[in-house]
Structure formats: structure tokens, C-alpha cells
Amino acid sequence: MIQLKEHDLKTLYQKTVSKKYAVDLKPLEEGEKASILSDTMFKTMFQNENRLKYSCKLLSYFLEIRYEDLLANIHLCKNELDKKKKKEKQERCDYVASIDNTYFNIEVNNNSNLESMERNIEYLLRLYAKNVQEGKKYEYTHTIGFQLNNFSFQGEEKVFDLYTLQNEEQTLLTDKLIIIQIYVPNLRKKWYTKGKESLLEVEKYLLALVERKIEDIKDLGGDEVMEEYIKESEEVCDTEGFGEAYDKEWALKDEGFRDGKRELGAEIAKELLQEGMKIEKIASITKLTEEEVEEIYEEEKENLNLEETCATEGFGDEKKEAVIEIIKELMKDQVPLEKISQYTSFTIEEINQLLKEQ
């Protein structure tokens, strides 16, 4: 990347990522509930019109508006971002809500890579320009993004960090784009080392959202909404449908798809769909469910110019390259060859031959 003269710009991702004190999204045990950092729990508790109070409570700690007024006037928006061009990639946010002329976006980040951060910035920019239409006056939307990060950076102790567009004298270029980074591991470290007496009310509420051990968070104290969240989150985790969804989510993460492997699987699925491979074979290779591959197919069939059916078997060069990439990623994580063979449906001999050809 070309640098500016006489400017040594420091970026967040030049720092070293740390997973110490991160929440472990493992299978639930007795006396535990799912963390809001889980996709299944986030969808259940935040992407739900009947449970808007829980996301509103979190937002209210950062906004100059009473919780009651926010709850009475906020609208949960569709989380799929509009495509302005036919071939533009379909993007789906974790959470989008609006009040007056302001959008709120919440993204949960268990994946700490730079691409995820840049993707989240793209989400905000697309919401910011959502009301810009051809032939009409330019109208940009006040957009506030909350990044709920299950990682931190070495040497950084902040629980909350605010980012805006500003110059070296800290004069804002615009106040319509704001990003609030929330570092869950730093919050947990503060709790463990300094005790609950050191915590702000917003920090107690965040712990109620992210922590798994119910008795630990009940001991924090908190207001009525926090108590309701703990109770209801415990109840939903006991429902059969939730348990099945959470177990499926954990299985994907456990089988080599932590920290972005699922996203990698989705990208490989697109390549294999383009080549005409059967959906069930793609699901076997990527460890996505067949329903998830079908969803990718529906979203991408126009962009990828796919035929109505994907029935071609066989393995061309591009398919080999796609599988080689996922094999390399799994090997980086020191996944045994036996496991890689299981994930990709290739024998160990075939895996070694593919790598040797490279």
C-alpha cells in the first residue's frame, strides 16, 4: 500500500491480537447459558421484535436518550443491506435498528482478522449512504456502529474505544460516522482483577450478556432489565430448538472452523457452486450445512451467473485450488491430517498428492 509523505500513520491492526480472557464458546454445561457472542444467542435475544428491550438497554448506555424513549421509538430493520448494483455482493449485518435519522449497527466479532474489521466498516458506509438516490439531493444518515469484540490487543486495557473521522487537531470531518469498539476480554480482566466494585453499570450489563455462568453474573447486581435478561436467556437455552441450533453452531466451530473458517467455507462454496458442484458435496467439503449452501446459492446465483441446477460432478483445477486453500488453512491451525481428510472427504494420500502438486 502506498504511504503518505511525512506521515507515519499507525493502525489498530499493527498491534498484536490477544485472546487471553476471551469467552470460550464451548458446549453448555449445567448452570450455564449461551453468550451473546454466539450467533444463535445473538439472533434469539437481539434479532427479535419481542426482545428489543435488551438491545435498547445496551444502546441506551451510550446515547443521550432515555432507555424508555429509545424502546418506544426504535425500529428493528432488516439486516440484509440493499444492493445498488446487480453484481454487488449481498451483505448481512448482525443487527440494524433505527430511530429518527440514525442507524445503529451491532456486529459480533469472534474473528480478529483485518478483513472482518474492514467488512464491518463497509457495512457502516452502506448504511451511511442508504438514502442516497439517483436524481435526488444527497442525504447521508447518522450511523453508529458497535463492534462487540471477543479479542483485544496486547498493551491495551480499554474496554471501550471511540473512532471517528477527524484531523490531527481532533476536529471532526463529520459526526455522522461513529464506531465504538468494545473489548470483552479487557472487561473480563477488569472484573477478575479489580472486582465487581470497579465495574460501571454498562459493564455489568455487558457481562450479563456475554458471560456463561449464571450464578457469577447474578452476583453482580444490576437493574430490572439486566435481571430479566439473565432469567429469559436461561429459559431460552433450555428450549429444544435453541439447543439444536447452538449445538450445530458449536459443531461447525469445533471442526476446524474457528476464527473465520466458516467464512472461508462460504467463499469456497461460492467457487464450487460456480464450477457446478452438487450442493451436498460442497456441504461435505466446507462443513457448512446443505441449507447454508442453498442459501449462498440463492444469494449469489445472479452474481455467479449460475445455471438453475448445480449437478456437475468431477473435479477441475479450480475445485482443486479451492480445496487446497481450505487444507492449508486447517494445517496452519495444526489440524491432524486424519481430521482434514474427514472434513474434506479426501483421503490422506489424495491430500498429500494435492499439496505435492503445488
> Do 337 and 303 meet the contact criterion of CB atoms below 8 Å apart?
no
Length of the chain: 358
Contact 222, 198 (CB under 8 A): no
| CA 141/CA 228 separation, integer angstroms | 33
Task: Round to whole Å and give the CA distance between 77 and 66.
Answer: 21
pLDDT for res 309: 38
The reported pTM is 0.71
C-alpha cell at 344: 474434506
For the chain, give every domain's residue range.
28-245, 260-357
Could you give the 3-state DSSP secondary structure of residue 191?
helix
Q: Which of 286, 271, 262, 267 is nearest to 316 (CA)?
A: 271
Give the list of residues 6+ apart from residue 306 with CB closer than 8 angstroms, or none: 273, 274, 297, 300
For residue 134, the model assigns a pLDDT of 59
Per-residue pLDDT reduced to its tens digit, 147-168: 999 999 988 899 999 999 998 8
Quote the pLDDT of residue 159.
97
pLDDT tens per residue across span 229-248: 999 999 999 887 888 788 77
